[in-house]
Structure 1
Amino acid sequence: MKQPKAPKTKPSIMENSKIQWTNYTWNPWYGCQKVSPGCKYCYMCREREGENAKDVKRSKTKFNYPIGIKEPKLIFTCSWSDWFIPEADEWRDEAWGIIKKTPHLTYQILTKRPERIKENLPFNFESYKNVWIGVSVENQDYISRLDYLQDLPCVTFASFEPLIGPIHWNASMSNLDWCIIGGESGNDFGNYRYRNMELSWAGDLVLNAKKNNLPCFVKQLGTSQAKNLGLADRHGGSITEFPQNLQVREYPGLYVQKCKNRTCADQQLKLDF
């Protein structure tokens, strides 16, 4: 079945996602500001070119959309913003309420503002058994973001995407429940290009994840490697085109026995690749 395309100038608020590690995206608000090098060629800014992408707005029509989803699904939350962005403080409690009302949905919350996580969790957060919280780490300079995940009573993960530099394994990575690896996608023209992800950077992360029993999901090789290798998928997202050592797509639910802060890992989540 053909996936719907996101509108050019409006956010994909809730749809079947093309992101390989989730089912749906949900944007109760949209708009963001760049905070680190990984944001340089942000796809949200690309799709909202001509608008003020920094302007954070609440969705007028889709804020409550998850309530209508009846089957268990993975929901990537705030793909066009940041769940913990300050401008959303007045709406976040209401959004937490929606998450609480939909325990059959698993919400994957990914942030580049980890210093705001703990102060913006809801009361009795340990009862929210359907939330995963992760941080984006694009290179070694931002590995300290992982420290903010320590002791959270939920599934924790890191997204090494766009991976724009090598990352050295450290103790904080051993405390994760999941990691995602991906190269940057983009265009050959205009203001939104792409940077290269060396295959060795991804390979080192995969190898160390295996050594430390950390479930790992290689999302894509990125546009640069897709061009270098002559891949059919222009962003290098087809797992059958990956080098053998990178053909890894695992989920934390498959590793119940090793996870530390598990609250919902017994859900054996399956996606169509």
Structure 2
Amino acid sequence: MATSKIEWTEATWNPLTGCTKISPGCKHCYAERMALRLRAMGVEKYRNGFTLTLHPDVLEEPLTWKKPRMIFVNSMSDLFHKDVPLAFIQQVFDVMRRASWHQFQVLTKRAERLSELAPVIDWPTNVWMGVSVEHAGYTFRIDHLRQTNAHIKFLSLEPLLGPLPDLNLDDIDWVIVGGESGPHARPMQAAWVRDIRDQCIRAGVPFFFKQWGGPVKKRTGRLLDGRTWDEWPGNVPTVSGEQPEAVWSAS
């Protein structure tokens, strides 16, 4: 298990690595930078760099992790990439179902394939399914997400590259917002973040503000209007392992 520094999860599990870019949010992909760095370091799992690679040998890893964790699935890839066989996707879901003491967070930009395969996926209640939306041209991904039977549906609006007014948050359980980080980070405007936060408040959807981002994200931090916004879907463990008292559990 790889302990994660991502603010909204605790650990990562990568039964596949590598990907291809399909939209503007992919331009400065952190996973690509990391994969190439790990290949240069001689890490065997990344011998193919950022070329899509399946790792069936790690499929059952979560079953060996006895302490319950919030686990981000495929932080270094996209489970619904067109070249990932359906049988392998179903194997991943089978492991998540069997590892019922964990919460699994799956995130994709391939929302069309997600909705296409959703009817043949048996959705465990401990799987959170999310889509990435970086600007208004990709809000259609939310409609595809709604077509699934995922128990918890969430949005990752990161890297946020433009305003997202009038979001349809029907049947959405959680919203994450974050700015791009890294050496070529594109700027995010505070007005965009506040508008999404206010939409979430009106809709009663938990809002999680991950970061402002920038070339050195530690300098910009996570505060929005003087506070952190670490809200979680109701009735599930937070990253700390505690049960939230209510849907609104911001610090």
TM-score range, shorter chain: 0.7 to 0.9
Q: CA deviation at 1:45?
A: 1.3
2:139 aligns to what SS in structure 1? helix
Once the 2 structures are TM-superposed, how far is the Cα of residue 123 of structure 1 from its aligned partner?
4.7
Structure 2 CA distance for aligned equivalents of residues 16 and 224 of structure 1 = 23
Once the two structures are TM-superposed, the CA of residue 245 in structure 1 deviates from its matched residue by 5.9
Q: Corresponding residue for 2:212? A: 221
Q: Give 1:252's aligned amino acid.
A: P
143, 150, 162: which one aligns with 1:165: 162
Q: Are positions 1:267 and 2:236 aligned together?
A: yes
Correspondent of 1:31 among 18, 38, 62: 18
Kept in 2, the 8 Å contact 1:184–1:223? The answer is: yes
CA spacing shift, 1:147–1:121, aligned 2, 3 Å: closer
Instruction: Determine if the alignment matches structure 1 residue 184 to structure 2 residue 184.
Output: no
Alignment partner of 1:168: what SS? Answer: coil
Give the fraction of aligned pairs with identical amino acids, expressed as a percent: 35
Following superposition of structure 1 onto structure 2, how do residues 226-245 of structure 1 map, counting pairs within 5 Å?
233-234=218-219, 236-237=220-221, 239=222, 242-244=223-225
Matching of residue 95 in structure 1 with residue 92 in structure 2: yes
1:252 maps to what in 2? Answer: 233
What is the aligned residue count?
Answer: 231
Q: Structure 1 residue 20: deviation in Å? A: 0.3
**3-state SS of 2:180 partner:** coil
* 1-structure distance, mates of 2:121, 2:171: 22
Q: Deviation of residue 58 (structure 1)?
A: 1.6
Matched, 1:76 2:72: yes
Question: For structure 1, which runs of at least 5 residues remain unmatched after alignment?
Answer: 1-13, 188-192, 227-232, 254-265
Q: Which letter maps to 2:209?
A: V
Shift in Å at residue 53 of structure 1?
A: 4.7
**AA aligned opposite 2:83:** E
1:175 aligned onto 2:171: yes
TM-aligned CA deviation for residue 118 of structure 1: 3.2
Matched, 1:205 2:201: no
Question: Contact (CA 8 Å) 1:135, 1:159: kept in 2 or not?
Answer: yes
Partner Cα separation in structure 1 for residue 58 and residue 172 of structure 2: 32
Q: Using the TM superposition, name which of 89-98 and 208-217 deviates more.
A: 89-98
**Structure 1 contact 44–53 (Cα < 8 Å) conserved:** no
Task: Find the counterpart in structure 2 of residue 40 from structure 1.
Answer: 27
How far apart are 1:186 and its partner, in Å?
Answer: 0.4
Q: Distance in 2 between matches of 1:119 and 1:143?
A: 17
Is the Cα–Cα contact under 8 Å of residues 138 and 163 in structure 1 kept in the other structure? yes
Superposed CA deviations along residues 45-99 of structure 1, whole A, max 9, x for unmatched, are 1123386655211226433211111122111111111011122215222212211
Gaps of 5+ in 2: 40-47, 242-250
Deviation track 1:153-201 (CA, whole Å, cap 9, x = no partner) reads 221111000001111123x3233110000000102xxxxx110011111
CA distance in 2: counterparts of 1:251 and 1:92, whole angstroms: 26
Look up the equivalent residue of 1:28 and give its one-letter code: P
Q: TM-score, normalised by structure 1?
A: 0.78
Q: Which residue of structure 1 aligns with residue 137 of structure 2?
A: 141
Alignment of 1:11-30 (within 5 A): 14-30=1-17
CA contact (8 A) 2:93 2:122 kept: no
Q: SS of 2:95's equivalent?
A: helix
Higher alpha-carbon deviation: 147-156 or 115-124: 115-124
Coordinate RMSD, CA, aligned: 2.2
Residue deviations 1:207-241, cap 9 Å, x none? 11111111010000111595xxxxxx14x34x4xx
Greater alpha carbon shift after TM alignment, 138-147 vs 64-73? 64-73
